[in-house]
Structure formats: C-alpha cells, structure tokens
Homo-oligomer: A and B are copies of this chain.
Amino acid sequence: MEIRENDLIKRIKRFEQKSGQVIRGIGDDGAVVEMSGGRYVFVQDALVEHIHFEFSFMDAISVGKKSIYVNVSDILSMGAEPLYFLVTIGVPKDLSFKTILDLYKGMHRAAREFDVILLGGDTVETKGDFFIDVSMTGILKNDTYLGRNTAKTNDFIGVTGWLGESAEGLYKLQNHITTKHPCRYIKRYREPKPPYNIWKELMKRGITNAMMDISDGLIIDLERMMFESKKGAVIYLEDLPVPERLKKEGREHLAFSGGEDYQLLFTFGKDKLKDFNEMKKDGFHVSLIGKVVRGKGVKILKNGKEMTISSKGYEHFGDNT
C-alpha cells in the first residue's frame, strides 16, 4: 500500500503515552525529552522478515511485541531501566494498513509492560521485505553497568528461566507441530518477554557482576562474555534448566545453541550465594549452572567429566550422549 504518512502519524499518535518528561512527542522533526543527569544506556536492534521471523509463524502484534522485547532485553542486561524508544518500520507496498497498526498495537502493549515510551521514528517503503528497527534508551539503576567484561574468577554463573524454549517453539512451527492454542514453547518463541521481575530482584539485591542476554544460544553467548572478561567458564550439564520435554525428545541441544531465549546470563560472587539461594526460595526461577575460571573458552562437565564441544555446542554433545 501507499503509505499516507500524515494518516499514519495521526493513528500512531493514539499509542503515544503521556509523560511529563516528554516535551515534544510524535509529529515534529524529533522528540524533545527532559532528562536528569545520570548514566544512560543506548541500544538498537532490528527484526527482518524471512531472516528473523515469518508472518506465517507469528502475527503482526507478536512481531511488534518482540521488537520491543529484544531491545528491553539488551537494556536490562546492562543493568538499566528502559525509558524511551523510537522505531523505523520498512514496509513493502503489499502490506496492509491494518498490519502496520497491529505492529504498533503490539509495540504499545509490550511497551506498557515496561513503562517505556514511544518517541517517534520513521516509516519507509521497501521494495521487498518488511523490517522493524527499534532504538531504545534506558537509565542505569546503579552507577556501574553490568557488562560482558566484568565477570570475575570464581564467580558463579547463573541464568534466568528455561533454556531452549524459544528454539523448541520454532522447531514446532517449522515442523507444523501445532495445536489450536499455542503451547508454551511457541508462545515463548513469538513473545520472548524478558524476565523483568527476576531482573528487578537481582538488581535490588545487587547480586550480579556481569550480565548479558542470551540471544544466540547459551554457549556462544557465554563464550562472548568470557572473551570480553578475559576468563574461562565451566558449565554443569545436569544443572541446566532444560524443559523435560526437550530431554525426553532428544532436543536437549536446543538449550545450548537454540538462540532467542532472551533469558539473562549473569555471574555473581561467593558472597552473594546466600542472596541467590533466597531468591530461589522466594520462587524466582534462577539456576546456578557453572563457574568462572582462569583461562579461556567454555567447558561443559557432565557428572564431573569434561565433554568436547564445538562453538555450536550441540554437535559433539549429541555424539556423546
């Protein structure tokens, strides 16, 4: 369709949330925001049709939500609260006006869950495929950020939620194993909402040294963290939070390399172990899965025995079990 920019802006303005800090919102060359002094985090992450998702696997509302979730995930990983976002959508001619509005509806719903405010952005035409690109700003809760480069030797390694859920959901969609109501895996794949409540508790207790979100798979992302921190890591296979169904059906490898988990991976010192265990007792889903060591790379131990793994994690793992 022809994008009628003025029409669209009028409709989008309905999704604008009010805030005393936003002095000028959608409808000008830029948005103006009153900000206090502090340390701010900036991220930008895109979803591209046929590369990151298919409209046959998820509707526009879910795509909109996911575009927010993946950016919120990055903001939280740094130890910051999300505040504002802008969005560019690239729209091929055959996309309906309703689809565009559904995208904004999805973004709006996800944004409300984190009190993050739409400031504006751009709508552009594309020749072929649809894309959505969100930039987001957050403010650090404490003065220190939680990077990939701040893991310390002898830190424990923790993770939130389940691993491999999202990949299992994609597997089911690709193999047409669907039911009338989407199962937890497909839901997680479509709408990987970051574990905000767990994050808040982690922050409140000041547990974490290093943090990142798992977007490309546990092993690859942990390797990245260790590389940036100039450390190595040991993972205890039996302690990974892998859903029973994946174990039963022989797709345990999805917990290593599945990607799109959008769970938080973090390290913490021995002095925080008590806090960590209290969190577990209080019902927060966190798992202690390994330890930071001197050296480099990631080793996986199964009942104390080292397993050889490639950077993709699952290949030799599959051979060895």
Contacts and interface: CB of A to CB of B under 8 A. Distances in A.
A51 interface: yes
A208 to B, nearest CB: 13
A250 interface: no
A122 B30 contact: no
Contact of A44 (B43, B88, B138): B88
B30 A43 contact: yes
Q: How many copies does the complex hold?
A: 2
A102 interface: no
A48 interface: yes
Contacts of A52: 124
A contact residues, range: 35 or more
A213 to B, nearest CB: 6
* Prevailing SS type, chain A contact patch: strand
Interface in A138-157: 138, 140, 145, 147-149
Contacts of A77: 29-30
B51 A126 contact: yes
A23 B44 contact: no
Given A35-B37, A43-B86, A48-B127, 9 more contacts: A28-B147, A28-B212, A32-B78, A44-B87, A44-B88, A44-B120, A48-B125, A49-B127, A51-B125
Interface of A: 23-24, 27-46, 48-52, 73-75, 77-78, 80, 84, 86-88, 90, 119-122, 124-129, 131, 133, 135, 137-138, 140, 145, 147-149, 212-213, 228
